[in-house]
Copies of this chain bind each other. A is one copy, B any other.
Amino acid sequence: MTVLATADPVQELDLHRVNINDPFLGQYQRLVRDVVIPYQWDALNDRLEDTEPSHAIENFRIAAGQQQGEFYGMIFQDSDVAKWLEAVAGSLCQRPDPELEQRADEVIALIAAAQCEDGYLNTYFTVKAPQERWTNLAECHELYCAGHMIEAGVAWFCATGKRNLLDVVCRLADHIDDVFGPAEHQLHGYPGHPEIELALMRLYEVTRNPRYMALVNYFISERGKQPHYYDAEYEKRGRTAYWPTHGPAWMVKDKAYSQAHLPLALQQSAIGHAVRFVYLLSGAAHLARLNHDAELHKTCRRLWDDMVNRQMYITGGIGAQSSGEAFTSEYDLPNDTVYAESCASIGLMMFANRMLQLEGDARYADAMERALYNTVLGGMALDGRHFFYVNPLEVHPRSIPFNHIYDHVKPVRQRWFGCACCPPNIARILTSLGHYIYTRREDALYVNLYVGNTTQLPDGLTLSISGNYPWHGEVTIAVKTAQPVQQTLALRLPEWCEDPVVLLNGKPCAGEVKRGYFHISRLWSDGDSVTINLPMPVRRVYGNPLLRHIAGKVAIQRGPLVYCAEEADNGSALHNLWLDPRAEFRVIEGAGVLKGSLLLQTPVQRISSENARNAPLYRYDMPGMPDAAPQKLTLIPWFCWANRGEGEMRIWLNEIR
């Protein structure tokens, strides 16, 4: 459908109006502001020791003609700068910082200087291969880089009111719209790595220029058609390929890797590179809403369902394999060879965000919360300087150096990467939490996440959400308002909570449960207070019967947090710990680096491996629990694993049947 519709009342709240003051996530925002953003600035300017130089800022200087030199870095290096700018934009909304703002403005001026006359912007091609512009969409990330820059331009405008970067990216978008399209002189192509789609939708939201949405519709409609664009451009450029791994021209040939094997409307499963998938679907869902495309909406829902109901880890991680950083197939979720890239869970949050705008259904927010509080937070160390690219649910460090199925698994977080996409992504998500906490829909203001914040709504209400989530489930929403305002608040009832209680001004609250949200329609007065009590007993979690990797195992969850066992607390050979299905859990406070967290303890049976190295590999006829002795199992929230050095870790544990 190419309906170009008028604006829709669903809009993201202005981040300036959402002031995060959550004791838990607030510290992550501070970490981003005080450590990650400056750290990334140093990285972009090649000031970090012991780290692969980024050369990202340098590349822009060379492209702008301010400096001589060669391009250096990944073909998508520009996107690191864009993501940094976006994180800065979000951070300024939380706390103004004139020095930081000026530094960013200087970068923007540099970017503008690196932009070509016709609007094209990409330092790799400008510096290194200007004739090769737009000749290899399948592999060369031009539209990907453009998309991230567009997102930065939108974010900068929203944060500062300044048009400096917005104007740059509009010229870029206009140029892209000239190059791509159905006309004979245009390229009938679409990106390898999706990103431009979701970016152009954000640009459309702030500019309301219909050509941007039409272009997104074009990109998504063309994708996967036969004869295939990637093959045609491959022939046209003489069969050259950029990426050498996995065989010749694999990124051209493996169409499913980029979800371009079929038109999206015909696709049935989450497949291929996980980050590409969720970025593509984020753009598609945003388009479906603003373009009133019911078929595309259905497609988005079908693919969301396959991802979440057949291919997602309990941690909100997606992408079960290292090869291609990709999905595998339904119900195939190994815990130790998993990929679960941090960026992919961020993309899952973005996709969820668009689905929430389409449908006020808590299942999207449930998955979004699961991804945020487990994989996304788990991707960053508590010091803000070390990151996980890959997020396993089980590690056995002694085996990692020798078994190459674990080549991608690190048992501890790493400093900045050569391919540095995850840390800046984590940074920009954490500085734009307001977009995920709330969804403004026509029928209500949806509260998806119980992150402490004070927010001014356009209709005059000021909400202050407070509590000590995710450790405790008592949340208070205090209302301030100059005059009474009619509004519906939709409060999410998390799927992990059996007996939520909602009180209004101390008394049971009248409302309606619709698709996992408790809707309170009311004329709100100043001083109104809603209390949501979300009991957080320790829950045992079991896998679908088709999940062969966790047959007979149990995972422990409390509130939104998935827990795990580490060697530091429990000794090695974690597979020898057997939970008792009838045993209770104690909640205790963490100490040291885990101070502020809540840990869990339960009595378990441990099978001894004390003399195992002298025992045979196989023995006969000793069923039951040989050499089992009681032990106290300590579980920590999985997001704070690997903060105490290298050791075994496991989420899914054996349980006595």
Chain A residues engaging chain B, CB cutoff 8 angstroms: 308-310, 312, 314, 320-324, 327-329, 332, 334, 337, 396, 398-399, 401-405, 496, 539-548, 551-552, 554-555, 557, 573-576, 578, 581-582, 607-609, 612-613, 615-627, 654-657
Q: How far is the CA of A324 from the CA of B543 in the complex (A)?
A: 34
Q: Contact at A617–B403, with CB atoms within 8 Å? A: no
Q: Contact at B551–A314, with CB atoms within 8 Å? A: no
**Interface residue from B309, B399, B552 paired with A616 (Cβ < 8 Å):** B309
A234 to chain B, nearest CB (A): 23
Q: Contact at B328–A623, with CB atoms within 8 Å? A: no
Q: Contact at A541–B612, with CB atoms within 8 Å? A: no
Return chain B residues, CB-CB under 8 Å to A540: 620-623
Q: Contact at A309–B617, with CB atoms within 8 Å? A: yes
Closest to A399 in B: B332
A95 to chain B, nearest CB (A): 38
Dominant SS among interface residues on chain A: loop
Closest to A401 in B: B329
How many identical subunits does the complex contain? Answer: 2
Given A329-B399, A548-B396, A308-B405 contact (CB < 8 Å) = no
Q: Contact at A328–B552, with CB atoms within 8 Å? A: no
Listed from nearest, the 7 A-B pairs whose CB atoms lie closest are: A581-B623, A323-B404, A329-B402, A545-B609, A548-B575, A328-B403, A551-B575
Return chain B residues, CB-CB under 8 Å to A548: 396, 573-575
Given A324-B404, A552-B552, A620-B539 contact (CB < 8 Å) = yes
Return chain B residues, CB-CB under 8 Å to A623: 540, 542, 554, 581-582, 655
A350 to chain B, nearest CB (A): 21
Return chain B residues, CB-CB under 8 Å to A620: 496, 539-542, 557
Q: Contact at A321–B405, with CB atoms within 8 Å? A: yes
Closest to A611 in B: B545
Q: How far is the CA of A544 from the CA of B582 in the complex (A)?
A: 27
**Interface residue from B323, B328, B654 paired with A551 (Cβ < 8 Å):** B654
Q: Contact at A547–B617, with CB atoms within 8 Å? A: yes
Return chain B residues, CB-CB under 8 Å to A612: 544-546
A638 to chain B, nearest CB (A): 14
Q: Contact at A615–B328, with CB atoms within 8 Å? A: no
Residue in A324, A557, A624 with the greatest tally of chain B CB atoms within 10 Å: A624
